[in-house]
Amino acid sequence: MSSEEHIRLEELELLALGALPEDEVAALQAHVSGCDECAVKLAQARGDAAMLAFAVQQESPAGTIRAELMARVRANREAEAHSAWPVKPVEENRGVVAGQKADSGSGWWNWVLVPAALALALVSFALSWQNRRIASELQRERKAAEAMIRDREQIEKLVGVLAAPDTVTVKLAGTSDAANASGVVKFNAKAGIVLYSADLPTLPKDKSYQMWLVPVNGAPISAGLLGPGGHAWGSMWTADVPANTPAKAFAVTIESVGGAPQPTGPKVLLGAA
């Protein structure tokens, strides 16, 4: 082979895979050592072969397949040398063994490429599933962290209200409708925050307790529901009301589930501010 000629790609691939007879390997390697183009193609072929080796579980082919492959390669070369008519490239026949058709799907390349394609598909699926799982876990962790931050900020706000010198305490006493009931309210007018707890009898499922701020002037202002409808912090509930609203009293009434815009039911707790 002259330096101006180049090795065919299929021969370089067979060389990279170690599938050529020993008597041909030396001649091809000698050419590659002096031909930059063939050296680059051989390096690429070896890289492809290495990727296949890592991607596919290794199994030894039948003991006769190498000899049959070599026989087929030699037969094709002899046919090319003695015939003026074009013949099929080696790459179309190199996977064919004796007694098998070229399109039977059992060629040597199929033995390598089909498991490789399956392995790559499985790896891609596994990576995609893992990425989705990690993204879902990160989303849950982010939401949990945001909830913890909100809770901490709320607690710090409430602690600040309880410690503020302008926060007033109002004790609530039970009325004739709930003589044994009691409660306490912490109210900061400047911040517009009401904190309260109460000891009250259990209500029917269609009723709720509702806290009211009775201002010096104007109609009562709802300060939320006690129990499932309220914002509970342990045994304490909180509510936001208009800031700088002077309070005359606080009261708890029995209303329909979900509360009412204005008091309609009987008062069970009452305390003057």
Q: Domain residues of the chain, as ranges?
A: 9-119, 168-272
According to the model, what pLDDT value does residue 45 have?
Answer: 73
Percentage, residues of the chain above pLDDT 90? 24
Q: Which residue has the higher pLDDT, 72 or 270?
A: 270
* For range 220-237, the mean pLDDT: 74
Please name which of 252, 182, 242, 186 lies closest in space to residue 215, comparing C-alpha atoms. Answer: 242
According to the model, what pLDDT value does residue 95 have?
Answer: 41
Q: Do 201 and 214 contact (CB within 8 A), yes or no?
A: no
Q: Which two tokens stand for residue 122?
A: 């499985």
Q: Which residue has the higher pLDDT, 28 or 230?
A: 28
At 156, the amino acid letter reads: E
Kindly give the residue spans of alpha helices, DSSP state H, lying in the chain: 9-16, 22-33, 36-55, 65-82, 90-93, 108-163
Task: Name, in order, each residue with C-beta under 8 angstroms of 7's C-beta and a sequence gap of 6 or more.
Answer: 1, 15, 28, 31, 32, 35, 38, 41, 42
Sign of CA dihedral 29, 33, 38, 44: positive
According to the model, what pLDDT value does residue 163 have?
Answer: 85
Q: Which residue has the higher pLDDT, 67 or 241?
A: 241
Judged against a pLDDT cut of 70, whether residue 164 lies above it is answered with: yes
| Phi, psi at 68, each rounded to 5° | -65, -40
253, β-bridge pairs = 210, 267
Q: In the CATH hierarchy, which top-level class contains the domain 168-272?
A: mainly beta
Q: Which residue has the higher pLDDT, 66 or 45?
A: 45
How far, in Å, are 123, 231, 260, 262 from residue 181 at the CA level?
A: 66, 20, 21, 22
